[in-house]
Amino acid sequence: ILNVEQSPQSLHVQEGDSTNFTCSFPSSNFYALHWYRWETAKSPEALFVMTLNGDEKKKGRISATLNTKEGYSYLYIKGSQPEDSATYLCATVPGSQGNLIFGKGTKLSVKP
Amino acid sequence: EAGVAQSPRYKIIEKRQSVAFWCNPISGHATLYWYQQILGQGPKLLIQFQNNGVVDDSQLPKDRFSAERLKGVDSTLKIQPAKLEDSAVYLCASSLDLSGKGGEQFFGPGTRLTVL
């Protein structure tokens, strides 16, 4: 059974702070890693799908890196805004079966 | 483009009752997923369909849960009878990826089920 670990579980920051979260996963049999943002009462929204070791992706103030050899991914948010408050989920795709295995998420709260 | 639709959004039932959830995926998406997200946990895949065929239902508690995707479009997930531990958010997702191999998944808003 694969375990996807996310840290921290929750995070409280002030508006304007930059922050980052970690997603750890078994490096063997890796196929892809997904990051999702899930705001309360809304649909989880895909942020990034990453497959290559060393990959870096950016969307506005949010970026992510991937290290498949050591089994981790970082998600960075630059200059956090209250609208960034959400739970950030990462999920791995082992092998090529296509099933996402999710971590428990990191809940971010940004205070104005 | 319309997103993934789910209904109802909220449902409260008593244990041993039955409940059904409905999902309408994004038009043209071949692959449909049902996930269960228990409070404090990450979403867990219950069943994956490709068109109207089941690809993976290894984590579906088949003694009480059933799902179908007639005509390869809409899907329903049923629980009969419900237990207290079934209280969770049930998420439906769809993917254009015909191979079902790790492509981006688009999620609906979920149905929050409370079993009393």
Model pLDDT, residue A52: 92
Model pLDDT, residue A55: 94
A–B interface: beta-carbon pairs under 8 A:
66
Q: What is the mean pLDDT of residues A18-31?
A: 92
The dihedrals phi and psi of B92, each to the nearest 5 degrees, come to -110, 140
From A17, A9, A22, select the one nearest A111 (Cα to Cα): A17
Sequence-ordered list of residues with C-beta below 8 angstroms from that of A83, at least 6 positions apart, any chain: A110
Q: Does A2 lie at the interface with B, CB-CB under 8 angstroms?
A: no
- Is the pLDDT at A14 greater than 80? The verdict is yes
Q: How far is B79 from chain A (nearest CA, A)?
A: 22
Model pLDDT, residue B60: 96
More confident residue, A67 or A31: A67
Q: What is the mean pLDDT of residues B91-105?
A: 78
pLDDT band (50, 70, 90) for residue A49: very high
Q: For residue range A87-96, list pLDDT tens digits in order.
A: 999 999 887 6
Q: What is the mean pLDDT of residues A22-29?
A: 91
Quote the CA–CA distance of B84 and B110 in Å, as a whole number: 18
Q: For residue range B57-90, list pLDDT tens digits in order.
A: 999 999 999 999 988 899 999 999 999 999 999 9
Q: How far is B115 from chain A (nearest CA, A)?
A: 19
Name every chain B residue with its beta carbon within 8 A of the beta carbon of A41: 109
- Is the pLDDT at A1 greater than 50? The verdict is no
Q: Does A48 lie at the interface with B, CB-CB under 8 angstroms?
A: no
Q: Does A44 lie at the interface with B, CB-CB under 8 angstroms?
A: yes
- Is the pLDDT at A61 greater than 90? The verdict is yes
Q: How far is B83 from chain A (nearest CA, A)?
A: 23
More confident residue, B11 or B51: B11
Q: What is the mean pLDDT of residues B84-109?
A: 86
Mutate: best of A30, A100, A104, A107, partner B, most B CBs <10 A: A100
More confident residue, B73 or A29: B73
Residue A27: burial class (beta carbons within 10 Å; 0-12, 13-18, 19+)? middle
Q: Does A99 lie at the interface with B, CB-CB under 8 angstroms?
A: yes
The dihedrals phi and psi of A17, each to the nearest 5 degrees, come to -70, 150
Percent of all residues in chain A with a pLDDT value above 90, rounded to a whole number: 84
Model pLDDT, residue B99: 60
Given an 8 Å threshold on Cβ–Cβ distance, is B101 in contact with A44? Answer: no
Model pLDDT, residue A94: 81
Task: Write the residue in B42, B105, B109 that is nearest to A103 by C-beta.
Answer: B42
ω before A8 within 30° of 0 (cis)?
yes
- Is the pLDDT at B100 greater than 60? The verdict is no
Three-class SS state of B84: helix
Q: How far is B10 from chain A (nearest CA, A)?
A: 11
Task: Write the residue in B95, B102, B106 that is nearest to A96 by C-beta.
Answer: B102
Model pLDDT, residue A24: 96
Q: Does A55 lie at the interface with B, CB-CB under 8 angstroms?
A: no
